[in-house]
Structure 1
């Protein structure tokens, strides 16, 4: 049995880029640990969704656990740092925001988890954080340093296939809300030529969809995809891609290196 640790920025981030590999790892008998850096307090929430007296942090924590259950996660760890907000917002400047936390301090927190779990594989984000969110960029820096501290050598940058995303956005104009600007796909993820690992997760798409549905407060992120037919959802999210840190493998990998 191997131990897979997936490090993410906010509750809900676990679904898009690693939901499938977590479910597949758990189904294969491996231990799966999900670590979330921030409390997600600055996420948007539909009016009237929260119960009286309920905070967004409380709701997102519960949503995260429901998602983790759907994905077969054995342990959820919340580092508890304040959300930094979207890039360019005033919250980016708060001293306690995760994007401004000393990398060594946060890395020591994560390294402790990696050591406790005797992690074999760690996933982080690519250096751009997939799309430039300050908390995602910080996850990369903190995760890479934590792996060094804990001696974890198999580190994979969860990312997006930029070339595939370009094709999908072009073919699905309804993904962009009416009146909204078209997302700059050229800032998403990495080009296909830089991807070292491509995992087919279509066999566990039901679990991945259930994890999406668990995050009811984030309907703005997941709503368009939950409305998709199963075959469309599989086309968009049935492959999870990574760039392995260190020497590039000779051939494209089709799985993370988890040993029986």
Structure 2
């Protein structure tokens, strides 16, 4: 993209903007393009005025500043959570999974049209790793693209190396709850990936942006993963998450 463009990155929760597209957003901003992050949910399970919800959106804004993002917009939904149970809606907004796709797509389309966006970054059909809010991002992003005609690149990861790593970890009794015998729920085959974006110069920025999501550095498996990423030496972070980011451009019939 030689002339300045506007890119809208659509994500499920605060911190996804870093993990999936942080290097891309930082590079685009550094090269003079306008970047906008739209997040479907506030990443909180309770009322929108509760500290947890407010803090996570504040963390998203802080992360966006590190990445050079010009605008952050919340579509107004609550986190659907991960797992078999879909909890009741908070009193003031629906969980993202309960929002009609058409309604959510029109909210996203309004931002795309207001920004006169040249490109929408969304998720692949698996939502990266099967999280229901991520899969819904794919569905809503695809419909918003139909409504606006904007070009779409779907963020993904190459499936094959992750499957090899997952099976190796399971051999030492780690990640046993995931099924890597059929990995269609994770990422995309290498052959399906259409764009590989070099973000090596922005690995430190990506790591610093992730560190702004302080509530995700707490206890539990997710917190352990985030703490490891934030605290590891930047060259190691770059080797794991800071070299390339991958996208699939869906075919248009």
Task: Give TM-score scaled by structure 1 length.
Answer: 0.82
Q: Structure 1 residue aligned with 2:94, among 93, 96, 111?
A: 96
Match of 2:33 in 1: 30
Q: Structure 2 residue aligned with 1:246, among 239, 244, 251?
A: 251
Match of 2:60 in 1: 64
- How far apart, CA to CA, are the structure 1 residues paired with 2:175 and 2:134? 23
How many residues end up aligned between the 2 structures? Answer: 235
- How far apart, CA to CA, are the structure 2 residues paired with 1:135 and 1:170? 25
- How far apart, CA to CA, are the structure 1 residues paired with 2:100 and 2:252? 28
Q: Structure 2 residue aligned with 1:207, among 185, 194, 205?
A: 205
Asked if 1 retains the 8 angstrom alpha-carbon contact of 2:208 and 2:230, the reply is: no
Matched, 1:14 2:17: yes
- How far apart, CA to CA, are the structure 1 residues paired with 2:89 and 2:132? 11
**1:225-244 to 2 correspondence within 5 Å?**
225-237=229-241, 238-244=243-249
Match of 2:81 in 1: 85
Q: Secondary structure at the match of 1:90?
A: coil
Residues 151 and 224 from structure 1, CA distance in 2 versus in 1: closer, same or farther, beyond 3 angstroms?
same
Residues 183 and 218 from structure 1, CA distance in 2 versus in 1: closer, same or farther, beyond 3 angstroms?
farther
Q: Structure 2 residue aligned with 1:222, among 226, 241, 245?
A: 226
- How far apart, CA to CA, are the structure 1 residues paired with 2:137 and 2:230? 27
Q: Structure 2 residue aligned with 1:163, among 160, 164, 169?
A: 160
Match of 1:181 in 2: 176
Residues 8 and 32 from structure 1, CA distance in 2 versus in 1: closer, same or farther, beyond 3 angstroms?
same
Q: Deviations over 1:155-195 (max 9, x none)?
A: 01101111232355567x5xx9x976364452321121211
- How far apart, CA to CA, are the structure 2 residues paired with 1:124 and 1:96? 21
Q: Structure 1: which 5+ runs fail to align?
A: 44-52, 249-260
- How far apart, CA to CA, are the structure 2 residues paired with 1:64 and 1:93? 22
Q: Secondary structure at the match of 1:34?
A: strand
Residues 240 and 104 from structure 1, CA distance in 2 versus in 1: closer, same or farther, beyond 3 angstroms?
same
Q: Secondary structure at the match of 1:131?
A: coil
Residues 62 and 199 from structure 1, CA distance in 2 versus in 1: closer, same or farther, beyond 3 angstroms?
same
Asked if 1 retains the 8 angstrom alpha-carbon contact of 2:166 and 2:175, the reply is: no
Asked if 2 retains the 8 angstrom alpha-carbon contact of 1:107 and 1:143, the reply is: yes
- How far apart, CA to CA, are the structure 2 residues paired with 1:29 and 1:179? 42
Residues 54 and 102 from structure 1, CA distance in 2 versus in 1: closer, same or farther, beyond 3 angstroms?
closer
Cα RMSD over matched residues?
Answer: 2.6
- How far apart, CA to CA, are the structure 1 residues paired with 2:94 and 2:8? 25
Asked if 1 retains the 8 angstrom alpha-carbon contact of 2:204 and 2:238, the reply is: no
Residues 155 and 234 from structure 1, CA distance in 2 versus in 1: closer, same or farther, beyond 3 angstroms?
same
Higher relative contact order (CA 8 A, sep 6+): 1
Q: Secondary structure at the match of 1:76?
A: strand
